[in-house]
Amino acid sequence: MTVLKSVSALGVVGALGGVLTAALAVPAVSGAGLTAKSLAATFTDLPPAPREEPLSQVTRLLDRHGEVFAQFYTANRTEVPLAAVAPVMRQAIVAIEDARFYEHGGLDVKGTLRALITNSQAGGIRQGGSSLTQQLVKNILVENAQSEVERDRARAPSMARKITELRYALALEEKYRKDEILERYLNIAYFGAGAYGVEAAARRFFSTSSAKLTLAQAATLAGAVRSPYANDPSLGRRQQARLKARRDLVLDRMAALGMVTAPQAAAAKSAKLGIKLAPQPGGCAQSAYPFYCVYVQRELLSSPVFGNTPAERQRRMARGGLTIRTALDPRAQRAAERAISAEVRPEDTEVAAEAMVEPGNGRIRAMAASKRFGNNPGNRKNGPNTTFNLAADVMHGGGQGFQAGSTFKAFTLATALQQGWRFGQGFQTPGALVPSSGYRDCRGNAVNDRSARVYNASGEGKGGPHSLETGTWQSVNIFYMMLEEKVGLCNVVRTAQALGVGRADGTALREVPTFTLGVNEMDPVTVAASFAAFGARGRYCKPQAILEISGGAGGDTGRTSVPPSCEQALDRRVADAVNHVLSGVFSKGTMKGQSIGRPAAGKTGTNNGYTSAWFAGYTPDLAAAVSVGDIRGSYRYPLRGVQIGDEYYGSVQGASLPGPIWVRSMESALQDVRRHGFVYPDMSRFGGGFTPGLKEAQAAERKAGRDRKARHQRVRWNRGGNHRKPHKVRWKRRHR
C-alpha cells in the first residue's frame, strides 16, 4: 500500500497562497471577496470531513438453493475493497484523473493554478483541475443530497462550491490514507450505462469483474468517468466512438507516465472497444418470479426485523446492498405456474392464483398467477398484465381478494370437533334456511339476517339428514349454517383467527351468519397458511418468505436469520380429526375422482352466484390454495357461461377449475418428496355419533344408485352396444 503525504494541510495552504496571490490580480477572483487574510482562515480552520452515508447498492433475492432470482436497486452498485480491483485499473484512473495523486495532500497545485486562471478569465468553470480527492468530495455531496436542489448545489459551476470542495478535500486527506481515498472514489464514481462504481461498471460494460479487467478494459472505464453521459456506450455508435478516443488517451497517458510500455499501450489501442453490455435487470417486473419478488419487497418494508420504523426500513431499502435468502422453491414455483397456464390464459379476464406453504414452518414455497406481472403496453384496459400480486393480500402488493366460499367450512368443522362433536353426529336439515336468530358476533351483538335465504348448492327444497362427515363431503350449506349456530358464530370466528385468517384488504372480518360460507374476501397465501396448520397437526405458522438477511450498505455486513413464527393454534387430536374428515373430500366428496397419489385433504369453495371459486388442500408436507375470479370484479362478472383457456364452463365450481389446478401443481411439486400420511384420529373421542334418518337415507341413495346402473346397462344391451364403449361427452359436473 502506497501512503505518501509530502504536503500537509498547512503546507497545502502555503502552496495555495502563492497560487491565489497570483490569481487575485484577476478581477473575477478578487470580486469573489477573497483576501489574503480570509484565505488563511478559510484553509487553516478546516471543517470536519464530509458526512458519508452508506452508498446505494444492489439488493439480491436468493431462492432456497442460493440462486439469484431478482434484484432491485436505487443505484446499480456493488462495493468492493481496493484489493479486489485490478492494479491496472487503479493505475488507469490515477493516470487520467490525477497523476500526482500520491504526491499531493489533496490539492494538485499546478493543475489548480492552470484551471483557476483559465476559469477566472472565462468568468466561470471551464477547465477541470480537481484532484481525485476533490472529485470524491463532490460525489459524496451529491450522494448525500436529499433533494434535486441540494444535488444541483453540489454540482454548481461556482467558485464558492470549488472552495468548499477544496476545504473538504483537505479534511479527507487528514482522515484517510491515499489508498482508502482511491477505494472510496472507485466505488462511488458513475461510469455511465447505469453503472455506479467500478465493479458494476466492469460487469455492465464487459461482463467481468473489476479484479479481472484487462489493460484495454481498464483504460476504457477510466476514460468514461470524466463524461459518463456523453460517452455512454449504451446510447449508440457515436458515444462508443467517443469512448474509444478517451480510452486511447488514457493509454497514451499511462505510457507517458511509465505505468505501461509504449508497445503495451499500442497493442491495447489497436484492439476493438469490446463492449459487451450485460443486462442488469432491476425491479420485480424483470424477475423470473415477479409475484414472489413483490411479496419480499413489501415484507421488508413492513417487518420490524428490517428496521424499527417505516422510515428506517425505507432508507435501508433504498441503500440496498443486501442479500436476502428466501423460501422460494423453484420446483414448486414452476409446478404452480405450469398448472395455472394449462387451464387459464393471460388474456382471460378470469384470473387464477396459487400459493404454496410448507406446514410446520410457514415457508412460502411458491406464488403464481395467470396474468403476467407489469404495466400493460399502451395502457390496454384489462390487458394480459397486472401490477397486483394476485396471490397475496393488500399489505404484500395484492388486491382485494375473492370470497373464500365453502373453504371456511373447515373452521366450523374444527370448532365442532373441538367442542366434542363426533364424525357421525348430525341432524336433519330443511331445504332452505333464514338466519333469523341464534347468531351473535364476538362483541355479543345479534347479527341475524331475516332478509337472507340460504339454499344448498343443489337447489331449493333439497334437505335431509347430514352428519359432520356427509355435510362436509357434500358441502351442504344449510347443514353448516345450522352447525355454526349450534357451536357459536364467535367460536368459529376465533378458530379462524387462531389459524391466521384475516381479510385480504386488512379490514376486520365480517362476523355475519354466512361467515361459514366464506363471505370474507381472502388471498391464497393466507388461506394456504391456515390449511397448512391442519397438515401440521394444529401448529399454525405465519407465512414466511424471508429466511435470512445479510450484508448491507455502509459496512453493515451482519447476518440476521428470521425464525418461523408459530404457535399451537389447535389441539393436535382435533387437527387429526379434521384431516380425517377433509381427506374424505377426495374419496367420497366433491373432489371424488381427483387424486395426487398420496394422502391429501382439502375443501372446495364455490360462492353464491358463482362469483369466485376456490380449492384449498394439503398433505403433511405441503399446502396450497387456488382462487379463480374475474379481475374486472367478481360481482359484476360472475363465473357463469364463460370461456376460460380452452374450456367453456356453464358455471365454475371449486372442483371444476381450482381443483384440477391444485392437483396438477401438487403432483409435480411433491414428485421427489417422501410420502407421508396423516395421523389416524382418536376414534374413542371422535368416532361414532348419531344422525336421525341418516342410515336410511344413505341406504335409499345406494339403492337408487344401483337402480340407475341397472337401467343404464339394460339400455346399452338393448341398443346392441354391450361390445362398444359408450361415446365420451366432455362436460363439467356441478360441484360445490
SS (H, E, C) 508-569: CCCCCHHHHHCCCEECHHHHHHHHHHHHCCCEEECCECEEEEEECHHHCCCEEECCCCEEEC
Which residues does the chain have with pLDDT short of 70?
1-45, 106-129, 377-383, 458-461, 552-557, 712-736
314 falls within a domain: no
Cβ contacts of 454 within 8 Å, gap of 6 or more? 432, 433, 434, 435, 477, 478, 481, 514, 517
Distance, in Å, from the CA atom of 112 to the CA atom of 108, rounded to the nearest integer, reads 6
Distance, in Å, from the CA atom of 241 to the CA atom of 224, rounded to the nearest integer, reads 12
Does residue 628 share a domain with residue 493? yes
Distance, in Å, from the CA atom of 463 to the CA atom of 59, rounded to the nearest integer, reads 59
674 falls within a domain: yes
509 falls within a domain: yes
Domain final residue, candidates 645, 666, 686: 686
Q: How many domains does the chain have?
A: 2
CATH number at residue 411: 3.40.710.10
* Residue 194 φ then ψ, to 5°: 80, 10
Q: Which residues pair with 643 in a beta bridge?
A: 648
Amino acid (1-letter code) at residue 231: N
Q: Would you say 63 and 328 are in contact if contact means Cβ atoms under 8 Å apart?
A: yes
Distance, in Å, from the CA atom of 650 to the CA atom of 732, rounded to the nearest integer, reads 8
Amino acid (1-letter code) at residue 233: P
**Burial of 584 (C-beta count, 10 Å sphere; 0-12/13-18/19+):** middle
Amino acid (1-letter code) at residue 100: R
Helix or strand or coil: residue 495? helix
Q: Would you say 624 and 528 are in contact if contact means Cβ atoms under 8 Å apart?
A: yes
Query: What pLDDT score does 113 carry?
Result: 61
Q: Would you say 645 and 339 are in contact if contact means Cβ atoms under 8 Å apart?
A: no
Q: Which residues pair with 550 in a beta bridge?
A: 323, 559
Query: What pLDDT score does 725 carry?
Result: 39
Expressed as residue numbers, the domain containing 207 is 79-270
Query: What pLDDT score does 461 carry?
Result: 54
Alpha carbons within 13 angstroms on the beta-carbon side of residue 317 total 19
3-state SS track over 583-652: HHHHHCCCCCCCCCCCCCEEEEEECHHHCEEEEEEECCCCEEEEEEEECCCCCCCCCEEEEECCEEEEEC
**Chain centroid to CA 221: how far?**
33
Q: Which residues pair with 355 in a beta bridge?
A: 367, 625
Query: What pLDDT score does 34 carry?
Result: 47
Identify the residue whose cell numbers are 452508498.
55
352 falls within a domain: no
Amino acid (1-letter code) at residue 459: G
Does residue 471 share a domain with residue 597? yes
Query: What pLDDT score does 729 carry?
Result: 36
Q: Hey, CA dihedral for 692, 698, 699, 703, is it positive or negative?
A: positive
Rg of the chain over all Cα atoms, to the nearest angstrom = 35
Cβ contacts of 300 within 8 Å, gap of 6 or more? 306, 313, 317, 324, 546
**177 Rama class: left (phi>0) / alpha (psi -120 to 50) / beta:** beta
Does residue 447 share a domain with residue 592? yes
List the grid coordinates of 676. 407421508
Query: What pLDDT score does 707 carry?
Result: 76
Q: Would you say 199 and 211 are in contact if contact means Cβ atoms under 8 Å apart?
A: no
Residues found in the chain: 736
Q: Which of 158, 164, 165 is nearest to 122 (CA)?
A: 158
Query: What pLDDT score does 724 carry?
Result: 39
Query: What pLDDT score does 281 carry?
Result: 80
* Residue 399 φ then ψ, to 5°: -100, -150
Q: Would you say 363 and 586 are in contact if contact means Cβ atoms under 8 Å apart?
A: no
Domain final residue, candidates 205, 235, 270: 270
Distance, in Å, from the CA atom of 681 to the CA atom of 164, rounded to the nearest integer, reads 78
Q: What is the pTM of this model?
A: 0.82
Go through 400-415 and write b for each residue having 16 or more CB atoms within 10 A of its CB, e for each that does not. bbbbbbbbbbbbbbbb
As separate numbers, helices (DSSP H) first and strands (DSSP E) second, the chain gives: 25, 24
Distance, in Å, from the CA atom of 409 to the CA atom of 404, rounded to the nearest integer, reads 10
Our CA dihedral for 650, 654, 659, 665, rounded to 10 degrees, sits at 110
Q: Would you say 326 and 545 are in contact if contact means Cβ atoms under 8 Å apart?
A: yes
DSSP 8-state code for residue 62: E
CATH number at residue 159: 1.10.3810.10
Query: What pLDDT score does 273 carry?
Result: 94
Q: Determine the Cα angle at 543 with ends 542 and 544, to 5°.
A: 110
320 falls within a domain: no
List the grid coordinates of 426. 348430525
Distance, in Å, from the CA atom of 63 to the CA atom of 51, rounded to the nearest integer, reads 36
Give the Å distances, CA to CA, from 719 to 174, 232, 414, 709, 728: 104, 81, 51, 16, 16
Go through 263-300 and write b for each residue having 16 or more CB atoms within 10 A of its CB, e for each that does not. ebbeebbeeebebeeeebebebbbbbbbbbbbbbbbbb
Identify the residue whose cell numbers are 351442504.
476
- The secondary structure element, H or E, covering residue 268 is helix 262-270
Does residue 398 share a domain with residue 543? yes
3-state SS track over 191-219: EECCEECHHHHHHHHHCCCHHHCCHHHHH
Does residue 394 share a domain with residue 250? no
Q: Would you say 368 and 291 are in contact if contact means Cβ atoms under 8 Å apart?
A: yes
Query: What pLDDT score does 630 carry?
Result: 95
Give the Å distances, CA to CA, from 469 to 409, 579, 580, 587: 12, 11, 9, 12
List the grid coordinates of 735. 360441484
Q: Determine the Cα angle at 201 with ends 199 and 204, to 5°.
A: 110
Q: Would you say 357 and 624 are in contact if contact means Cβ atoms under 8 Å apart?
A: yes
Give the Å distances, CA to CA, from 526 to 228, 400, 402, 482, 518: 48, 13, 12, 26, 14
Domain final residue, candidates 645, 669, 686: 686
